[in-house]
Amino acid sequence: MIPVLTSVMLDTRRALKDGSFPVRLRLTYQRQRKYYNTSYSLSEAEFSKVQAEKPKGKYKELQIAFQAIEQKAIGIIRNLDVFTFELFEKKYLNAAVRNDVFAAFENQVKKLVEEGRVGTASSYESASFSLLSFIQKEPLTRNKGLSRAKAIEKREMLLKKRKPLAYGAITVDFLMRYEKWMLQNGNSITTIGIYLRALRAIYNNAIAAGEVNTELYPFGKRKYQIPSGRNVKKALTLADIEKIFSYQPATENEGRARDLWIFSYLCNGINVKDIARLKYNQLDREKITFIRAKTERTSRQNIKAITAMRTPEIDEIINKWGNKPVYRDAYVFPLLEPELSAEKERAKIQHATKTINKYIKRVAAAVGIEKNVSTYTARHSFSTVLKRAGAPIELISESLGHSNLKTTESYLDTFEDNVKKQYAARLTAFNAGKI
């Protein structure tokens, strides 16, 4: 059998616009040669460094990536009963589609939308678009100043120019440059972490499916570690919470926003999505029981029901703003309607959240609270007030619906200054022999 010769080479016949040359897979069979594109392009000097006996840094990573491309081609050739370029191309091009990070993102977004997880799908879509903008050297300014039509037009333009992104191209150096680029374009560490965790999940799926060699994996210790934003303390003091409780609303919108914020605070920091989905059949005389929409799918093997004890304040809010008449299968609050699509439900929840935040900020300003108050503040305030009251962290974790204590610890705020002063005074009294 005549052997098929394979090699990954630099095609210097025609330079690209930036002066580099495309890296291609070359097959030679019966004196006939064919070339297949990869997602890489390098200068001659860079390619020479990749071919060195002991390349370092990104050149070592590129060498591993090129070896993976060649090994994949060799594996396809070995499994062919009879070699022809046509049969090889059919197998190789299908493998190339599987080796495209952007294609994997598209498939994941479609899957999430089908599951009704449109919020997560939107996050994955944003991560993919961010990576595309980085590769195409487009500034990512969150489309500030652009109309929606112009923003869509810009996205479509980038997508038309999109080329496959091989998993082997996601190296430690690539990720470091992407992080630097994101920061230069005004993105926070938190946003970078969200996008790169999505990319890591895509990469892990590909490894689990046997589509990527684990040696190429760029994440983890001694490789690239995804940054985590420092937790900004969002909890209010008890004095500020009391101000919100005591405030006399100037308008109905302020009253509704204030009461739903208080409802969230008293019901274990329940978020707006779970408030909107709450039905009367989840209420009994003493408590409210619900499952967080956020963990409904991600924790199917260990779904935790959250129980919030009913109080007179909670009952008053339900009586004032709840749907009437009361039916067991009806939503408690008029934020959603039955049989909504996942997209329409998300839009209504986003609108409700935006409205509550708009008016609770007015309430906070009116009572002299200087912190940025939002629906999220209610959740952090609930957990932090429990901590300050001496509640065990296990109880706080269960009340929040967390799967582990580390997540709960990140929610817990520092103690108020007056508490610190009390303990400092005790230390002083102890040193003076007064205790």
8 A C-beta contact, residue 226 and residue 193:
yes
pLDDT in tens, 222-274: 899 998 765 556 788 889 999 999 999 999 999 999 999 999 999 988 999 99
pLDDT in tens, 175-213: 999 999 999 988 889 899 999 999 999 999 888 877 788
Rounded to whole angstroms, the Cα distance separating 32 from 263 reads 74
Q: Which is it for the CA torsion 69, 71, 74, 80, positive or negative?
A: negative
Q: Would you state the pLDDT for residue 175?
A: 95
**Lowest pLDDT segment from 71-80, 181-190, 228-237, 283-292:** 228-237
Rounded to whole angstroms, the Cα distance separating 365 from 372 reads 9
Q: Would you state the pLDDT for residue 245?
A: 94
Q: Would you state the pLDDT for residue 259?
A: 96
Q: Would you state the pLDDT for residue 61?
A: 83
In angstroms, how far apart are the furthest CA atoms of the chain?
97
Query: Average pLDDT in the 20-24 region?
Result: 91
8 A C-beta contact, residue 358 and residue 258:
no
In the predicted model, is pLDDT for residue 332 greater than 50?
Answer: yes
Q: Would you state the pLDDT for residue 413?
A: 56
In the predicted model, is pLDDT for residue 431 greater than 50?
Answer: no
Tell me which of 342 and 196 has the higher pLDDT: 196
| CATH superfamily label, 238-420 | Intergrase catalytic core (1.10.443.10)
Tell me which of 299 and 223 has the higher pLDDT: 223
* pTM for the full predicted model: 0.58
Tokens 């004095």 found at? 239
Q: Would you state the pLDDT for residue 181?
A: 93
Q: Would you state the pLDDT for residue 218?
A: 93
Segments making up each domain of the chain, as ranges? 5-98, 113-216, 238-420
| Mean pLDDT over each residue of the chain, to the nearest integer | 84
pLDDT in tens, 353-373: 999 999 999 999 999 998 899
Query: Average pLDDT in the 115-125 region?
Result: 86
Q: Would you state the pLDDT for residue 356?
A: 96
Rounded to whole angstroms, the Cα distance separating 168 from 27 reads 20
Q: How far is CA 129 from the centre of its chain?
A: 13
Rounded to whole angstroms, the Cα distance separating 390 from 375 reads 24
In the predicted model, is pLDDT for residue 120 greater than 50?
Answer: yes
Q: Give the bridge partners for 124, in sequence order.
A: none
Q: Would you state the pLDDT for residue 122?
A: 87
**b vs e for 143-175, b when ≥16 Cβ sit within 10 Å of the residue's Cβ?**
eeeeeeeeeeeeeeeeeeeeeebbbbbbbbbbb
In the predicted model, is pLDDT for residue 435 greater than 70?
Answer: no
Neighbour-count burial of 183, counting CB atoms closer than 10 A to its CB (0-12 exposed, 13-18 middle, 19+ buried):
middle
Q: Would you state the pLDDT for residue 182?
A: 92
CA-CA distances (angstroms) from residue 318 to 31, 202, 288, 326?
81, 42, 12, 11
Q: Would you state the pLDDT for residue 56?
A: 86
CA-CA distances (angstroms) from residue 341 to 136, 291, 337, 347, 348?
35, 20, 10, 10, 11
